[in-house]
Every structure is written in structure tokens, then in C-alpha cells.
Structure 1
């Protein structure tokens, strides 16, 4: 019995040595791998490879990529790991047209700036110049441009409480109704300082008032759907809602005026 046990142990000695050797080799490989990983990390952090290589801006329409990147302060010399989200977002949000910013980091060296701009709800017309009016009531006097087609034009309006109230009404309008408006003229009367004359893209004219403009104008699509599209006129939305077609005399007078203006 004792002899058999000795034989068995002797047979296992090479196996034990082989297992020990394999274990030592695995440990050595692990140390070597860790060493090279540390070297690569040092090289990465000490070289331009850790700087921002790709900077993407998305979601913006009016503020250019160049402006946003300049506001962010980020360049290809900025370390990817030193970018502070809150600081960058605060810098970009200082622009009056930008409502919010979301910064995302994509390893190893890409930064994405997702921009949400404030909506342009109207434009103020002043001596053939058009100044955007934002949803918060701010008028961009430095951003004049050509005749706009993405929001209604405000005619005979001045900056102040009046226009702020008008903007508040416009922000409550459904987008499809807002986009249907061409011009909004401030046409105060003896009985209503807040009276409006609104010209629509489909050729109708609307007589309304500022105070309940959003509520009344939200009915516009349903009102127009019941009218003969070949007969244009004025849709009254001040107190009661009704439609009055242009008279022949008015149409003739408008035609004469247009002809005179083209001469």
C-alpha cells in the first residue's frame, strides 16, 4: 500500500511542476500587459492624442457652428479630460438665441454639443429691416436680414409692453397656425387700442385684438374650412366670429392702388 502511494506521488510531480510553471507564466504575462497599458496611458495623456480631435455641433439653425464653438472656448488644444460640462454649457447659453446646451463626450477624443435654440415667433419691420423676436420677448437688433418666411412680420409695433403681450400670445399658438400668418399690423381704434389687422398666407384678412388673440386664432383653420376659398374677405374675431367678403368697390380700390404703386 505504501509503495503504491509513493508511485502515485512521483507520477504527479511533473504535473505539479507544469501547473506551477503555467501559473508563473500567466502572472508574468499579466504584469507585462499591465506595464504596457500604463505606458500607453502615459503616452496618451502626455500627447496631443488626449486633446479634442472631433467637435460636433447639432440642433442649431440660426446660430452658426463657428459662433457656438467660439463661445464654448473649446479647441483642438483642449484636453478631452479637462472639459467641464457645466462651464461650457453656461458659456454657450449666454447667447440670447440659445435656450439650452447638452454636452456629450465620446471616448477617446470627441465632443458633441446639442443645441436648443429659442423659437423665433415674429419679426419686427422697421425701415425695410427685419429684426427677429424670440419666444421670451427679446428683440435681436443685431440680427437683421432679408424678408423672413419662417414667422409673421409685426408692422407698426414698438418695443415695450405692447409687443411683449403680443409675443406671449404668439407663443401659445399652434405652429401650423403661426406659420399661416404673413403679417400682423397694430391698428388701434378709438374703442380698442389693442386692435390688430392680420394678413394670412392664404389671402384672408383677420380683424382681431391682442388680449384673446391665441384663443381666437386657434379657431382659424376650422373657420376657413367652412368658407369658399374663391371668395376672400375679412374674418372678424374680436367678440363674435363672422366672415365678411370684400365688396366689389373695395376690390376695385385695392386694384387701383396696386396699379398705382407699380407705376
Structure 2
């Protein structure tokens, strides 16, 4: 009888016991990790505790927070920073936006708005700011207008937006010398404009040629400054061959 049933090896029993122990330990650790992760995401550490907005001039903090579509108490990790930035960039005055998350719970929105390039008088007679993307907004409270006034422009005029983009490319000293810009279209040049300077020049050109030709105004103004009574009407070449 003893010869038919081979004796168990003494070393096999402890080895199986060790493997079962290791598996059980791994399961316990995994369960603890899951519980800890669950508790962490349920805790205040994983929630937004404060939202700061920096760089807003024409937008209010409330408008920016509404665009974010997240509030204090929402998840700190979801949505991602990239998705939140996309939401903020949908606001028309916003040129660029970045979201910075500081653990635990602090979310900072950094804005770069389109710069003001001109002003307009609203129907109520109040000064309005015109931004580089053509957006017209109420002027900043207490701000003194130092940009050209745009007059005679119709809502939705494509040349208006093109003009605003061009003005954003001009050096500050040239931009501040412009006092008024109004459309002066012709059959040949539908984007022709007439502008007036604080140095008492009347200039005729086109939106398309403005950035190229306006640099010559500095030389003209410098020459004219020798005569305080000097006043001139200047036609900058604006034809395609000019």
C-alpha cells in the first residue's frame, strides 16, 4: 500500500501557501488603492476651491467664469486645461487664453484681449472702444480716448474689420496721430478711406494700402512741423500699381 501512493514532497506545501498569500496581499493592496482614490476624488482636495481671472478689461470675471462652465466645488481635474482654454477663447474680446491649475484647488485664467485700435460714438453719444478684431464695446470707465474716431461706417462692412486689423499693426506714434477715419469708397476702390490727423493732415488712401503708405506720413509731418500754419491734403498712392 505504501509503495503505490508516493509521498508528497515536503517543499511543495509551503510554496503553494506563499503564492496564495502573495495573491491575497496584492488583492488587499489593490482594494485599498481603489478606496483611497475614491476617497481622494470625493474630498475637497480634488475640487475647485477658487477661480481667479487675470487680464480682463472688457470682460467681467463673471462672464469668463460662465464661459468656463465650471464652478467652485466642481472637479479640479476634469475638464482638462485645454478644453477650458477653448471655451474661454470663444469669447469675442479674447485673443489668447491660458489655464493654470495650482494644486490643491486653485484655477487661474490668464487672458489676453484684443487691443483697442479706435473709438466710435454710440447712438447714445457715448464713446465706444473698437478692438483689433472689429468688435465694438463700451469704453473702459474713466479712460481718455487716444485712438482715432471711426465715423460713417455701416454695421457689417467687411472693410471695417479689415481696417481694424490694419490699425493694430501700426506703430503707436502713428496710431495716436490719427484723429478720424471714415469710408470714402469709389467704383474703382471700394475700400478707399479718408483720414485726418491731429497734425492737421487730410489723407486719402485705401484700407489695403494703409499700412504700407502710412509710414511716409512721419516724414511729411516732420517737414510740416517747421511751419505752424501748415495744413495739407495728401493723397497716398492706392492703386494696384502704386
Task: Report the TM-score, using the length of structure 2 for normalisation.
Answer: 0.66
Match of 2:28 in 1: none
Q: Is this contact kept in 1: 2:97–2:110, CA < 8 A?
A: yes
Match of 2:78 in 1: 82
Aligned Cα root-mean-square deviation (Å):
3.5
Q: Does 1:209 align with 2:202?
A: no
Query: Which structure: greater helix fraction?
Result: 1
Q: Is this contact kept in 1: 2:50–2:107, CA < 8 A?
A: yes
How many residue pairs were aligned?
201
Deviations 1:111-138 (A, max 9, x none): 121112123333344543555444334x
Match of 1:180 in 2: 177
CA distance 1:237–1:42, change in 2 (3 Å) = same
Q: Does 1:170 align with 2:189?
A: no
Instruction: Within 5 Å, give how 1:30-45 maps onto structure 2.
Output: 44-45=40-41
1:119 maps to which of 115, 121, 137:
115
Q: Is this contact kept in 1: 2:50–2:105, CA < 8 A?
A: yes
1:67 maps to which of 60, 63, 66:
63
2:105 maps to which of 109, 121, 124:
109
d(CA) in 1 for partners of 2:190 and 2:89? 37
d(CA) in 1 for partners of 2:210 and 2:116? 18
Aligned to 1:96, the other structure's residue is in SS state coil
Indicate the structure whose relative CO is greater, using CA pairs within 8 Å and at least 6 residues apart.
2
Gapped regions of structure 2 (runs ≥ 5): 1-33
Aligned to 2:85, the other structure's residue is in SS state helix
d(CA) in 2 for partners of 1:193 and 1:83? 47
Gapped regions of structure 1 (runs ≥ 5): 1-37, 241-263
d(CA) in 1 for partners of 2:104 and 2:231? 63
Match of 2:14 in 1: none
C-alpha displacement of 1:39: 9.6
d(CA) in 2 for partners of 1:45 and 1:150? 51
Deviations 1:97-153 (A, max 9, x none): 11222111112221121112123333344543555444334x44xx34489625322
d(CA) in 1 for partners of 2:127 and 2:195? 17
Match of 1:234 in 2: 232
Aligned to 1:156, the other structure's residue is in SS state coil
